């Protein structure tokens, strides 16, 4: 099956609360899910912080596979460079 972005997807990178999971790990009996389908995932990770009785987990594996890289997420350096360019554009 093609692993490219499905045309039914509304965003390449999802939302901040979305968890990237390889599509093949979500398939059931050889059938891959589509956007909008309900799925179950097993996450293994480390608690990064606890706030008011809520644990925040940094996922390490999903369905027994390493976390896939999230596409299109800028690095801190890229964000700083972009902010500097915006600031310079506003000044001039």
Q: What is the pLDDT of residues 31-56, one digit of tens each?
A: 999 999 999 999 999 999 999 999 99
Above 70 in pLDDT, residue 10? no
Q: Give, in order, the Cα–Cα distances in Å from 63 to each of 3, 8, 34, 66, 91.
A: 17, 23, 17, 8, 49
pTM of the model: 0.52
Q: What is the pLDDT of residue 1?
A: 43
Q: What is the pLDDT of residue 50?
A: 93
Whether residue 6 contacts residue 23, with contact meaning beta carbons closer than 8 Å, is answered with: no
pLDDT band at 2, cuts 50/70/90? Answer: very low
């Amino acid at each position: 099956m093609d692993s490219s972005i499905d045309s039914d997807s509304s965003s390449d990178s999802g939302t901040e609360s979305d968890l990237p999971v390889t599509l093949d790990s979500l398939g059931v009996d050889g059938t891959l899910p589509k956007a909008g389908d309900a799925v179950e995932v097993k996450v293994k990770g480390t608690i990064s912080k606890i706030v008011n009785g809520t644990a925040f987990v940094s996922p390490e594996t999903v369905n027994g596979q390493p976390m896939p890289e999230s596409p299109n997420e800028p690095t801190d350096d890229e964000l700083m460079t972009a902010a500097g360019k915006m600031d310079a554009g506003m000044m001039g």
